Chain A
Amino acid sequence: MSTPIIRASGLTKRFGDFVAVDKLDLAVEPGTIFAFLGANGSGKSTTIRMLIGLLQPTAGEIEVDGIDVMHHPRRVRDHIGYMGQKVSLYQGLSLIENVEFYAGLYGLDAATLESNWAQLRKRFDLAAAENEKTESLSAGVRQRAGLALSTLHRPRVLFLDEPTAGVDVHNRGLFWELIQEEADKGVTVFVTTHFLEEVDYCDWVSFIDAGKLIANAAPEELRRAHSGGYIVSVEAPTAEHARLTAELQPLGIVQAMDDGSLRLTTPELDGARLELLNTLQTAAGPVTVHIEQAPMTRVFRDILEAAWRKA
């Protein structure tokens, strides 16, 4: 485990008597996509505002890319990019004028701006929109432009607060490709979303409720812990059932279903189990294997309900 690039410990924020964030500990590995989730009103936005130095915590410590954010809240801003749900583009200015304006804020010189923007314009497919007034950009282009602006100064950490809210499925897909490219280049991405299928594009999930962590694990681990496991169904001629049932035994209890298939539930699908399924399917004979996994919506509903029962 390498040194976390974002680290918060005992992070607390009170508004009067209300505890919005309650002794929260977070650790984000460099170069990963980190999903920060929670129900509406759980303390997500308050936490992000503290992490990026916009809100002074009541207590705790924060370090982002080596900066002590508690004591130097302004200094962290050169190290991070931020994009909110409402992309901040100045209306009345064209996209390229916005880019020049932001470059000025980041203190980029002309040559750096030119080379950074040339790459982003191409990669984010923004050339056609460059001279458009920002109010006439479509939602998908706005989101891409927002992400481009937040990476203009090549930050090592990106904070994206519901970047895909209100974006259609096509543009959400394109957007996640860009996020994954950033992560491949070593950028750490801290992202929030209500589209829970997007959690499967992330390396780690921290889930908060009432300002406290209620889950903190890799997405697959959460799925394992909060769903009945994977359902494996095997379609094959009846003559093969006895053999297949014996071979599938290591995975779980095999049931013959009314539709003529075999079915079992397995808590885990590691390499060995997957290879077993592969052997069954690729050996001679018409054997088809299907795996059904719990959707993340179900996983997170389960996590929340468990937390609320406990509270």
Chain B
Amino acid sequence: MVNVVDLHQLSKHFGTRAALDRIDLQLSQGEIVGVVGPDGAGKTTLIRTLVGLLEIEAEHATVLGYDLLADVTEMKNHIGYVPQVFSLHRDLSVIENLRFTGRLRRLPTDVFESRVAVLLKRTSLTPFVNRAAGALSGGMRQKLAVANALLVEPALLLLDEPTAGVDVLARGEIWSLLEAAREHALVVMSTSYLDEAEACDRLLYLDEGRIIGNGTPQQLRDLVPLELYHAWGDSPRDIARAARQLPFVLAARPTGSFARVEVARSQSPGATQVFAALSQLPGAKVSFVERAAIDMEATLLHLARGAAQ
């Protein structure tokens, strides 16, 4: 299968600072790829590079078969892009914004009408077609931005934190758009949400302009040299505080009905041992300890720690 994205030793400098540093990346169609990593890691720069907005250096860099080092005008016709900042016309209504994009992209009227009908339905924006984009709530605005990017049925859909500050239902609707787009496109999005990272087919973890993790969520989880325990009891705050005193505990934090306790995998005490050790400590009334699966939080924190070393 032909790679939609094929980058070899791609770098982007702003002044002397390398925002992207000798990146190698191959991505193919039909995946939702999540771009994750700390603030300032280069996530936005990577997305803007793939949109063809930046001048870059590379041994080889193609997107949809177009050379990023050459003229990318034609490439942009096949790309949908949702930037981090809302960039549609605030004074135009929902339908006027979509129509504007439709004309700009030269969509035939019948194609435009049928696509818009589907997109409005999926985003529940139909009742708001005549509302000015500037008067929409944050969630509706983002749904409009994604719908607008999908009008051309792009082969590559790029979204920069499309769900930041968006409520859970609107996020669900945006995700159903992305899942539908996956049928005909490669979807690349940055996100800070753990549940969204978990839902991606592939994750790219960026740090200081380098890709230091690239795999399915499960593949990245398997790399984490930790065991995770949930210690249940009446006061998870007290349990967490007590757990931090145990020599084999790396970190402990209360969350909901249990304390989340991280242990180095090399120590591997097992749930029974952790329970026994916690039961010895004054102040921690533990009822039950289970060994839990490594979660996305532990996975991303592990990658962040690895990057720091």
Interface residues of A (CB under 8 A from B): 38-42, 85, 138-140, 162, 165-173, 176-177, 180, 184, 194-197, 200-201, 219-220, 223, 269, 271, 274-275, 277-278, 281-282, 288-291, 293, 295, 297, 300-301, 304-305
Contacts and interface: CB of A to CB of B under 8 A. Distances in A.
A103 B1 CA distance: 62
A170 B234 contact: no
Interface of B: 37-40, 137-140, 161, 164-170, 172, 192-195, 230, 232-234, 237, 253-257, 271-272, 275-276, 287-292, 297, 300-301, 304
B131 to A, nearest CB: 11
25 contacts: A39-B139, A39-B170, A40-B166, A41-B140, A85-B165, A138-B40, A139-B39, A140-B38, A140-B39, A166-B192, A167-B192, A168-B37, A169-B194, A170-B304, A171-B39, A177-B253, A197-B194, A219-B256, A220-B256, A274-B232, A274-B287, A275-B287, A278-B289, A282-B275, A304-B168
* Most A-side CB within 10 Å, residue of B137, B233, B257: B257
Nearest to B241: A184
Contact of A170 (B164, B165, B287, B301): B301
B168 A194 contact: yes
Contacts of A139: 39-40
A241 B168 CA distance: 40
B165 A194 contact: yes
A120 to B, nearest CB: 22
A300 B167 CA distance: 10
A170 B38 contact: yes
A153 to B, nearest CB: 26
Contacts of B253: 173, 176-177
* Closest 5 A/B residue pairs (Cβ): A41-B137, A40-B139, A274-B287, A200-B256, A39-B167
Given A166-B164, A289-B290, A291-B290, A40 B170 contact: yes
B175 to A, nearest CB: 11
Contacts of B297: 169, 173, 197
Contacts of A223: 256
B164 A278 contact: no
A194 B237 CA distance: 23
B39 A167 contact: yes
A239 B194 CA distance: 39
A282 B193 contact: no
A201 B288 contact: no
A40 B288 CA distance: 38
* Most B-side CB within 10 Å, residue of A168, A275, A288, A293: A168
B207 to A, nearest CB: 10
B169 A304 contact: yes
Prevailing SS type, chain B contact patch? mixed
B302 to A, nearest CB: 10
Nearest to A203: B237
B137 A281 contact: no
A237 B11 CA distance: 55
B255 A269 contact: no
B256 A281 contact: no
* Most A-side CB within 10 Å, residue of B256, B272, B276, B300: B256
B237 A290 contact: no
A144 B257 CA distance: 27
A290 B292 contact: yes
* Most B-side CB within 10 Å, residue of A138, A139, A194, A197: A194
Contacts of A168: 37-39, 192, 304
A281 B287 CA distance: 12
Contacts of B233: 271, 274
A300 B168 contact: yes
Given A39-B170, A180-B254, A194-B168, A297 B195 contact: yes
A275 B291 contact: no
Contacts of B194: 169, 195, 197
Given A139-B40, A201-B255, 6 more contacts: A39-B168, A40-B167, A169-B192, A169-B194, A176-B253, A301-B172
A297 B168 contact: yes
Given A138-B39, A139-B40, A180-B237, A195 B169 contact: no
A297 B165 CA distance: 14
B300 to A, nearest CB: 5
Given A168-B192, A291-B230, A41 B139 contact: yes
Given A40-B138, A196-B168, A169 B300 contact: yes
B147 to A, nearest CB: 16
Contacts of A200: 255-256
A295 B296 CA distance: 13
B169 A301 contact: yes
A297 B292 CA distance: 19
A281 B288 CA distance: 9
* Most A-side CB within 10 Å, residue of B37, B140, B288, B300: B288
Contacts of B289: 278
Contacts of A271: 233-234, 287
A139 B234 CA distance: 35
Contacts of A169: 192, 194, 297, 300-301, 304
Nearest to A166: B164
A129 B169 CA distance: 38
A197 B237 CA distance: 16
Contacts of B291: 288, 290
Contact of A281 (B172, B237, B271): B271
B257 A220 contact: yes
